[in-house]
């Protein structure tokens, strides 16, 4: 009787660990520590990142992505940033008079904080293998407009943020 209980416990633990390992191969939780994606994502939001999406598909306009940067945290580790995909390979981007143009068309951006994108950027083409990403809180976002971040190499993208788990009153899919 005791031996069969132990075997059942061991099976349960092994299956649980296997399931946890499989899940972590495909998704990853992350805590947002900055304001650069406000109002879409707020500081201390707890998000789930789909790590497999971009192994199958390419990033699309409007996707919210997490990527590795060359910026360092206070303890010397490389920072991961969360931003929105504005340009994909081949897109021509320009920022003038506080608005963003993609391929010659004014970009409608109802998700940004305010209605102004600071900084002028001459016509720039997104090269193959890269994306151009910006935060929704344009005045307070260090993103592809800055030489410190620049365009993001496809291989630096960790995954797509798709689900908010916290705060509980905001649980749901990210748009």
DSSP 3-state assignment of 30? strand
pTM for the structure as a whole: 0.86
pLDDT at 2 over 80: no
Per-residue pLDDT reduced to its tens digit, 102-131: 999 999 999 999 889 998 999 999 999 999
**What are the φ and ψ backbone dihedral angles of 47, each rounded to 5 degrees?**
-115, 160
* Mean pLDDT computed over every residue of the chain: 91
E-strand spans in the chain? Answer: 27-31, 46-50, 64-72, 78-87, 92-96, 99-102, 105-106, 121-125, 130-134, 152-153, 157-166, 172-173
6 versus 22: which is more confidently predicted? 6
Question: Could you list the active site residues?
Answer: 36, 83
Q: Reduced to 3 states, what is the DSSP secondary structure of residue 109?
A: coil
With 90 as the cut, is the pLDDT of residue 75 above it?
Answer: no
Of 130, 172, 125, which is closest to residue 149 (Cα–Cα)? 130
What's the pLDDT at 61? Answer: 97
Query: Which parts of the chain fold into alpha helices (H)?
Result: 2-26, 53-56
Provide mean pLDDT across the span 18-37.
83
The pLDDT value given to residue 29: 86
Which sequence spans correspond to the domains of the chain? 30-173
- CATH second-level architecture of 30-173? Ribbon (2.10)
Tens digit of each residue's pLDDT (9 = 90 or more) over 134-149 = 999 999 999 999 999 9
Structure token digits, residue 156: 């630096």
Tell me what pLDDT residue 1 has: 59
CB neighbours of 46 closer than 8 A, spacing ≥ 6?
29, 30, 31, 32, 164, 165, 166
């Amino acid at each position: 009787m005791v031996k069969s209980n132990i075997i059942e416990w061991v099976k349960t633990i092994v299956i649980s660990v296997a399931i946890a390992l499989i899940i972590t191969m495909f998704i990853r939780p992350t805590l947002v520590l900055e304001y650069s994606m406000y109002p879409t994502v707020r500081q201390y939001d707890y998000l789930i990142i789909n790590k497999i999406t971009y192994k199958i598909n390419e990033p699309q306009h409007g996707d919210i992505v997490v990527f590795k940067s060359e910026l360092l945290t206070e303890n010397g580790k490389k920072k991961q940033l969360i931003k929105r995909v504005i340009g994909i390979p081949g897109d021509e981007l320009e920022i003038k008079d506080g608005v963003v143009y993609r391929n010659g068309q004014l970009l409608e951006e109802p998700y940004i904080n305010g209605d102004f994108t600071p900084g002028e950027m001459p016509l720039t083409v997104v090269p193959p293998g890269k994306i151009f990403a910006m935060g929704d809180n344009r005045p307070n976002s260090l993103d592809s407009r800055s030489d410190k971040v620049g365009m993001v190499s496809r291989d630096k993208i960790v995954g797509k943020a798709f689900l908010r788990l916290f705060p509980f009153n905001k649980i749901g899919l990210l748009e």
